[in-house]
């Protein structure tokens, strides 16, 4: 008797067992969320249209964005023809939608989503990308026609960025162990624990009524975490008083972005970024240094590698060193983008010499800080040409939690020159080598600055500038990261008042015979 029918039967069963799960997996693949895509794109087009530096039509931007379909699947393309949005596949039209009225951003968002939905059905590549991948590809292709700084962030990335800007939820309290005792090791400035008067060195006896004795430090630290707005009771014993129980509400703990220290009689402040609380942190660090005994002979502010951040926080930091004068102007097509930042604070450093260290990675709000203090003769910038990021982005939250950054204004330094492309040109250059740096310091001690000509030219520059002119100016002190001689140059200037004065912008430009317009020039 033949056994082939039995083998065929079991082979068929085996094949069916393989195919059915695959079919189920395919059927369970998530569909394109047309409503979400339409809402996101419509809101984005409405936000972008009035804010771009150059006028762009909503239909043009929509078609640019829909080229993201082609980026995901080269067999598909989208065109606007004769009042219709046409989705093309190989040799045929797959879908046609009526083009909405030119100014109706919401309708264009919905139309784009309808085209994408049909493309999603026809293309395995789009299906693999998923709804979020298609949404992102729309923005990637749209912003290929913009500047390098306009961008879209998906909801998860946006949440992470918001946490970096605003701080994370918690108490701002770090625990440590000393023998068998649990102590407060660190308190974050401006966090809930700091505002409640907690300080390093206090013994932590109990957390929410549970004694800390005998517990693992990591578990105790973990118990401090919780939901934003929730409360916790911590029993502490200060070194010289009785135990007390403090109820804390978990809140946003600002990211620590400013670090101050004394180094051989010089106050050094390192600023790694301009975040939600940087202005207050900078004022606190500067105040602590200038009130030290003995008083520092000068202040060094290290902005190397600082990629910028919140423009307002940069301006607030400048306010602690500048009592009056222009900090920065922003100019855009949208009238709301035109802003003038004036110094409204007081020089809490009481005229101490200030040196700012910059490099090729110093950007944006950090460039604003450097330019404002240099142009107002309140600091000498030491380093190399900075990045030259002089565009300002307007931020909005899109439906679903994503974020959109759209460039809407240019930044103009106090003396009228553009930050975009040009960057901040230092008064003392470290990127030409230590021998040239030594020559610059020696010349400054004699009242001369070897960089007087390029400094005068950069301060006289006005937007728009030809790229060749920008590159020629920057080549006088090329952007670099990791050069030597920063602190040696800063110390030499602080120790020699005549050299420091010779490096300041106003006397330097007056000596060059080519003084630029005053800081009140409009820069247009």
Task: State residue 16's pLDDT score.
Answer: 40
d(CA 467, CA 365): 23
Instruction: Please give the domain boundaries of the chain with CATH numbers for all domains.
Output: 34-146 (no CATH), 168-253 (2.30.42.10), 258-512 (3.90.226.10)
- Residue-wise pLDDT for 482-506, tens only, equals 889 999 999 999 999 999 999 999 8
Tokens of 437: 């740096």
Task: State residue 197's pLDDT score.
Answer: 92
Q: Tell me what percent of the residues of the chain surpass a pLDDT of 70.
A: 90
Question: CA dist 31 to 13, 65, 66, 87, 387, Å?
Answer: 30, 21, 19, 19, 43
- Residue-wise pLDDT for 131-146, tens only, equals 999 999 999 999 999 9
Tokens of 505: 């912008």
Task: State residue 240's pLDDT score.
Answer: 84
Q: Tell me if 149 sits within 8 A of 405, measured CB to CB.
A: yes
DSSP state of 337: G
- Residue-wise pLDDT for 177-223, tens only, equals 988 899 999 888 778 999 999 999 999 999 999 999 988 888 899 88
Mean pLDDT of the chain: 89
Q: Tell me if 440 sits within 8 A of 452, measured CB to CB.
A: no
d(CA 521, CA 151): 32
Tokens of 232: 């916790």
- Among candidate residues 53, 65, 146, 152, the one with its CA nearest the CA of residue 105: 65
Dihedral of alpha carbons 517, 520, 521, 524, sign: positive
Question: For residue 330, what are the contacts with CB-CB under 8 A and spacing of at least 6?
Answer: 311, 337, 338, 339, 392, 409, 410, 411, 412
d(CA 363, CA 370): 10
Tokens of 446: 């004699």
165 confidence band (pLDDT: 50, 70, 90): low
Burial of 83 (0-12, 13-18, 19+ CB in 10 A): exposed
- Residue-wise pLDDT for 446-457, tens only, equals 999 999 999 999
Task: State residue 58's pLDDT score.
Answer: 97
- Residue-wise pLDDT for 387-429, tens only, equals 999 999 999 999 999 999 999 999 999 999 999 999 999 999 9
Residue 395's φ and ψ, nearest 5 degrees, are -115, 140
Tokens of 337: 């983008």
Burial of 389 (0-12, 13-18, 19+ CB in 10 A): buried
Q: Tell me if 359 sits within 8 A of 304, measured CB to CB.
A: yes
d(CA 517, CA 524): 12
- Residue-wise pLDDT for 228-273, tens only, equals 788 999 999 998 889 999 999 998 787 789 999 999 999 999 999 9
- Among candidate residues 150, 195, 171, the one with its CA nearest the CA of residue 52: 150
The owner of tokens 């695959």 is 22
Question: CA dist 382 to 40, 472, 486, Å?
Answer: 45, 19, 7
Q: Specify which residues 84 forms β-bridges with.
A: 81, 98
Q: Tell me if 113 sits within 8 A of 35, measured CB to CB.
A: yes
Tokens of 58: 């909503």
Question: CA dist 492 to 340, 358, 497, 499, Å?
Answer: 35, 17, 9, 8
Tokens of 107: 């309708």
Question: CA dist 521 to 316, 328, 336, 415, Å?
Answer: 22, 11, 20, 6
- Among candidate residues 250, 194, 253, 261, the one with its CA nearest the CA of residue 224: 250
d(CA 414, CA 357): 19
């Amino acid at each position: 008797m033949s056994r082939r029918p039995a083998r065929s039967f079991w082979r068929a069963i085996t094949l069916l067992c393989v195919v059915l799960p695959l079919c189920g997996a395919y059927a369970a693949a998530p569909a394109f969320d047309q409503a979400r895509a339409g809402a996101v794109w419509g809101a984005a087009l409405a936000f972008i249209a009035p804010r771009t530096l150059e006028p762009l039509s909503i239909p043009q931007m929509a078609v640019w964005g829909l080229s993201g379909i082609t980026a995901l699947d080269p067999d598909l393309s989208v065109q606007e023809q004769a009042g219709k949005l046409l989705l093309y596949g190989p040799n045929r039209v797959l879908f046609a939608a009526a083009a909405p009225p030119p100014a109706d951003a919401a309708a264009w968002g919905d139309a784009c989503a309808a085209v994408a939905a049909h493309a999603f059905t026809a293309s395995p590549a789009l299906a693999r990308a998923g709804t979020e991948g298609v949404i992102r590809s729309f923005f990637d292709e749209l912003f290929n026609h913009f500047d390098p700084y306009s961008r879209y962030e998906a909801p998860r990335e946006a949440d992470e960025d918001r946490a970096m800007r605003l701080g994370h939820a918690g108490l701002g309290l770090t625990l440590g162990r000393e023998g068998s005792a649990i102590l407060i090791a660190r308190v974050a400035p401006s966090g809930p624990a700091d505002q409640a008067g907690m300080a390093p060195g206090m013994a932590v006896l109990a957390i929410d009524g549970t004694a800390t004795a005998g517990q693992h430090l990591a578990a105790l630290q973990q118990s401090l975490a919780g939901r934003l707005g929730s409360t916790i009771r911590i029993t502490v014993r200060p070194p010289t008083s009785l135990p007390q129980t403090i109820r804390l509400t978990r809140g946003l703990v600002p990211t620590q972005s400013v670090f101050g220290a004394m180094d051989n009689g010089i106050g050094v402040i390192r600023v790694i970024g301009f975040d939600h609380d940087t202005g207050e942190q900078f004022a606190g660090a500067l105040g602590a240094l200038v009130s030290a005994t003995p008083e520092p002979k000068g202040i060094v502010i290290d902005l190397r590698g600082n990629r910028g951040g919140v423009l307002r926080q940069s301006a607030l930091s400048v306010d602690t060193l500048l009592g009056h004068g222009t900090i920065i102007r922003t100019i855009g097509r949208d009238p709301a983008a035109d802003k003038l930042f004036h110094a409204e604070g007081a020089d809490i450093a009481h005229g101490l010499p200030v040196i700012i260290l910059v490099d090729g990675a110093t950007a944006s709000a950090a460039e604003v800080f450097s330019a404002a203090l240099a142009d107002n003769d309140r600091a000498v910038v030491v380093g190399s040409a900075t990045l030259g990021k002089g565009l300002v982005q307007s931020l909005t939250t899109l439906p679903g939690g994503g974020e959109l950054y759209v460039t809407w204004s240019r930044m103009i330094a106090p003396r009228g020159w553009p930050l975009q492309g040009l960057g901040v040109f230092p008064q003392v250059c470290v990127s030409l080598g230590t021998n040239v740096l030594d020559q610059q310091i020696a010349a400054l001690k004699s009242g001369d600055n070897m960089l007087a000509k390029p400094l005068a030219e950069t301060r006289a520059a006005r937007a728009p500038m030809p790229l060749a002119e920008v590159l020629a100016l920057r080549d006088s002190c090329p952007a670099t990261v990791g050069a030597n001689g920063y602190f040696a140059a800063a110390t030499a200037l602080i120790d020699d008042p005549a050299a420091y004065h010779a490096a300041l912008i106003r006397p330097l430009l007056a000596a060059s015979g080519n003084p630029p317009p005053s800081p009140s020039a409009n820069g247009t």
